[in-house]
Structure 1
Amino acid sequence: MSVNSGFFERVYQVVEKIPPGRVTSYGAIAKFLGSPQSARMVGWAMNASKGMDNIPAHRVVNRKGLLTGKNHFSGTNAMQLLLEEEGVEVRELQIQDFETIFWDPMRELNQNSCQDKDHQ
């Protein structure tokens, strides 16, 4: 088993929670996992998730909202098409209204865990 497999699994657990029509960045995931310098490793995890249908890797983009991972999808427009099917507008590989649809795991997942505690 790879040394990175534990980190990759943690990345996948976060990515699985990104709702349709929302996107996050490699760096936001790395920061949430307590390893803010590991954005590139998050990208490697996304590449390694090829064939894992439960991992919506198309929802992870760079910090500026660019589809930098598009080459890792079969077909050059597959990442864009998957996002557009979810209502995300993409022009010239750039997510439109990036700030509006950005899903920040630090805020979203911490908020959800607080709500979960309220219901216990």
Structure 2
Amino acid sequence: MDTDLIFQVLAIVSEIPHGKVASYKQIAILIGRPQNARLVGKILSYASMYGDYPCHRVVNSAGRLVPGWFEQRDLLLEEGVIFKDNGNVDLKRCKWHIME
């Protein structure tokens, strides 16, 4: 994988504010690759090899968490992220709007 691309993704993830979330698609758009949300997810699965990044703040476009990463919900709850009854993040209230 291209190291420059990896660090572009990780730089954006590091900007997601405490208590907010971004989607894989949102990050893909920000790096100029709107069709590569899955690539963003793949890069984030290796993020720990490159440092400490708040990858727990990235969810899918419906607000679903990473399957099998049970700590993600706890980390987001500690930051005050709000969840809907179906277990998804309430994106209306917690999505990172870059122009804020």
Task: Tell me if both proteins adopt one fold, taking TM over 0.5 as the criterion.
Answer: yes
Q: Give the 5 Å matches for 1:5-44.
A: 5-44=3-42
Tell me which of the two structures has the higher relative contact order, counting C-alpha pairs closer than 8 angstroms and 6 or more residues apart.
2
1-side partners of 2:9 and 2:67: how far apart?
A: 18
Of residues 74, 77, 81, the one that matches 1:81 is 74
The question of whether the paired residues in 1 share the 8 Å contact of 2:82 and 2:94 is answered with no
- Among 42, 59, 62, which residue is 1:61 paired with? 59
What is the CA RMSD across the aligned residues, in angstroms? 1.8
Partner of 1:117: none
How far does residue 8 in structure 1 lie from its aligned partner after superposition? 1.2
Paired residues of 1:80 and 1:93 also in contact (CA < 8 A): no
What is the one-letter code of the residue matched to 2:96?
Answer: W
C-alpha separation between the residues in 2 aligned to 1:14 and 1:78?
22
Per the normalisation by structure 1, the TM-score is 0.73
Q: Unpaired segments of 5 or more residues in structure 1?
A: 113-120
Q: What TM-score does the superposition give when structure 2 sets the normalisation length? A: 0.86
Inter-partner Cα distance in structure 2 for 1:82 and 1:70: 15
State the aligned residue count.
98
Distance 1:48 1:62 in 2: 17
**Gaps (5+ residues) in structure 2?**
none
Q: Is the 8 A contact 2:21 2:94 kept in 1?
A: yes
